Each structure stands twice: as structure tokens, then as C-alpha cells.
Chain A
Amino acid sequence: MPDLSSIAPAGVVETLQDHWHTLLDGLKVTLELSVFGGAVAFVVAVVLGLAAISRLAVVRTVSRIIVEFFRGTSLVVQLFVLVYVLPQATSVGSHPLLFCVIALGLNYGAYGSEVVRGSLNAVPPGQWETTTALSMSWLTKIRRVIWPQAWALMLPGLNNLMVMLVKGTAIALFIGLPDLTSVGDDLRKSGVDAWTVYGISFVLYYLAALAFSAFLRHLEVRAQRRLGIRPSKVKTAQATAEAVA
């Protein structure tokens, strides 16, 4: 480790020197959960979001039920069902990291599908009608015209959800998966100063969340520029509150 003694309190430097391997491994797990969980959540959100605006009532209803189920039953319960019930009921075995990714993906994917649905519906009806008037197939319609516009609208909401997902990876603590929170807790139990070890984790979480948020914000600005518009951020807070309830 580089010499940090001149800028940081002594406890922090010592802790970092002694345990940076452990903390780095924890950070790695947290980032893996964030990236894979986010990817699964995005796929789930897009599929359920598109299903929610389907012309077929059956598809819409199925999507609705799945979304309400995963929104309503709490992330930790879903994780526990995967970790405790699934290996008992089937022969899949125990895969804490995978189960955690699936739980995060399904839960935040369900929330995300509300953002996707809302954004698709927010594309002006005139745009949908014009695609019909130009005889576009469903796929062309969505892919070429509707999605690029909805994309810009949904990114602020997805951004907030991604930050929540990064925070949500801390559920790893409850199943003994050594993520940043877990390893911090273990270090504290082994006698390392609580403030120091949690403080380091805290900063790392903050930086990770900022990084993901900045990346999505970058995508948002790019999408907006492509549309030649400058949408307001005002509704974002409300939209997220609706999605996560």
C-alpha cells in the first residue's frame, strides 16, 4: 500500500495496511453483485415492462402479477427462499453469489419494469400512431422509434434504482456471503476499530454508487442529446418513489 500516513488518521492507515486484501475481496463481491444483479434486473425490467404494454390482456396480467409479487414480498424474504428453501426442494445445490444475484435481479427488475412501462407509455401517442401509419412491424416500431425515446425517459429512474441495487447488495451479509459489509463486520468482530473498518466500507460504497450513477447519467445525457431535448429532472424523485413502493 502507498504511504497514506500524512493524510489519514493512524487507525485507518494501519487497518488498510493489515486488511486491505480482505476489504478488496469484499469490494470485489459487492461489485460483482452490483454488475450481475444490475444486468439481470435490466433484462427482467425490459421483458416485464414490454409485457405490461402488450396488446394481449393475458400477457399484461401475468406481468402485473409477477411485478406485484416481487415488489410486495421484500427482497430479504426472496433471498431467504432461494437460499433456504430452493436447495431443500431441488438438487440445484447452494450458490450464495448466484442466489443473491437472482434475488437482486428479480426484485429490482420488478421495480425497474414499472419505470420501463411508464417510459414507454410516456412516448407521445403520435409517435406510436406514426409508426402504424408507416406500416412498421412491432419489432421495428419498438426498436427503431419507441425504445430510443423511452430510453432517455427511463434512465433517471433506472439510475436511482441502480443506486438502490448497489446498496441492496448488502443483503449478502445475511447469508454469510463475504461482501464489503460482511468482511467489515467480520473485521470488527475480530477486534478492528468499528469506525475505521465501517468508515472505509462506507466510503467504498459511496464511491461505487457514485460511479454507477455517473455512468447511467452519462448514458442519459447522450440519449437526450440524440433526441435534441432537455427533459427536466423534477419528476424523477416521485417516479422512483412510485416504483419502489
Chain B
Amino acid sequence: MNVQFLFPKPPPSIEEVKDADGDIDMLLKSQRQKFETKVVTPGEVIAKDTQYMRGHGTYLDENETHLASVAGVVERVNKLITVRPLNTRYTGNIGDLVIGRITEVSNKRWKVDINSRQDAVLLLSAIHLPGVQRRKTEADELQMRKFYSEGDLLVAEIQGSFQDGSSSLHTRSLKYGKLRNGSFLIVPPTLVQRTKSHFHRLDCGVDVTLGLNGYVWVSKPSSRVLNEMSEDDSEYIYSNENEPIGKDAREAIARVCNCINALSKSYMSITDTTISYAYEASLNFSVKEILKLESIELIANQTKQRLKA
């Protein structure tokens, strides 16, 4: 039997083009542009070329044409084509900051809803225990609801993931923990980008915590500066009591919430910059006017223009 080895060689139509970093790009610039921020709907043809690799959110038909299986943005890494869905559940990555809601208290752990396909797990050993730094005791196990009970909102970091794909959380720093003094809202998780910090203090005197899972907490800044060593403070982080919130602060929180909703409705990315731009654009309206579709459009347009400038 005659065996012939075929050596891999680049398809003839592709020229080797060097980009700014001197890397060899396998696609021509014109071809590359085809993929840049291209929004597709399910069944839409992405590429007819057979040289590409099929990634998430795509499928091949009988003619080996790449089609989108979800509505989203086409992304390409060399030859791998994927479609990132616009509307999707959150998939946890280690180190991500998320906001979650406790759904269940069970044996030495809490189940936390983080807008993912499965509830995340927060182990009793992964929280900041009150008092001086110590090991968890049996007493802690018996009073788990004193720390977090069903319905509580918390901000946490993803520590790792389990075999089945669910995430494990931790709240060991004083940055993390129970959420108070504010209002909760949900945006599509794709709109929140990974940044250096997800805790923002806006100029209008409102704190915003952007969870990568699309859960957002808008609150009045706490008047208390927490100290890791103080015993009082470590009790305080599990308190359910709100501080008194004045009417002005409440209005500012409501305005920021409505601005974030306006951004998410116009499908714009949500960062501290876009929020403050939208906030400034919204000052022409009263807080409840921002709920109207026309004002949402106006605010979104102004924000877009300022972003371009």
C-alpha cells in the first residue's frame, strides 16, 4: 500500500501579513474586518471558507459553511471562530467578582444564585468569621444563618470551580460580604467588563458594585471604615440593619439605578465612565422621567457621543 504524507501548508489565498507587534496574522486585513464586531443571528452565515475551526455558538451545515447557532458577536482567535451570545447565563471564572443571593443554607455551606447555570457554593470555611482570626468551630456551624440566611445579598469572589462546572465563592476580605443601604438590579452579564476594580464611588456620592455576573448593587457609601482587626467590625459585616438614608441620597441612588437600566436597555457596556456620563446626561430629567423610552434614548445617545469624543 502506498502511503503518502501530506504536509500542512497554508491555503494559497492567504498571505502572511505581519501586524503591529510583528506577529504573523493568518488572515488578510479585509478578511479580518469581516469579523470585527459583527453581530449575527441564529442561522446566519459567518464564513464559507473550510479553513476555520468550529467554536462555541457555531455549527456547520452540509456544505461545510459556518453558521451561527446563537445571536451574538463573532469572535475569532486565529482560525477558531466562536460566537459570544448577547443574552447568556454567566460562566464563572476564577478571580471574578460577583454579586449573589443566598438560596439555601445547608451543611457547612450556602448555595448562592449568581445568574449562572448552577448555583454557586459558599463554604463556611470560605467566609470571614467574626472575632479575631480563628478556625471555624461547631458553634459557627450551628449559627450559619447569623452570617447569611436565605435571600441575603452578598458580594464575593470566585475561588474555584467544581467538577460539575459550578463555582465556589469566598468572602474572606472585608471588601466582600453582605450588601446593605441600597438597591439591587440585574443587567445582561455581557455588558459588565472585567476591570481592575469593580467597586466604584461616583462623583454624585453613590457607590456602585458591578458584579461580572450582571448583578449590580447601587448603595449609599457606608460611613463606617472597616478595620480587619477590630472585633466590632467583624460582627458588623453580618448586620442586616440599614443606615439612615436621606431623601437626597435615595434620589441619587434611584437616578443611578435608572441610568444603569437605561444603558442596559440600549445595550451599552456598563462601566464607571458610562454610568457617570449617563448620570450627567440624565440631570435634565427628573428621576422617574428616566424610565420613559424617549429619555432612555436621549441619555444613551449623549453617552455614546461623549464616549466617542
A and B: bona fide binding partners: no
Interface residues, chain A, CB within 8 Å of chain B? none
B residues adjacent to A (C-beta < 8 A): none
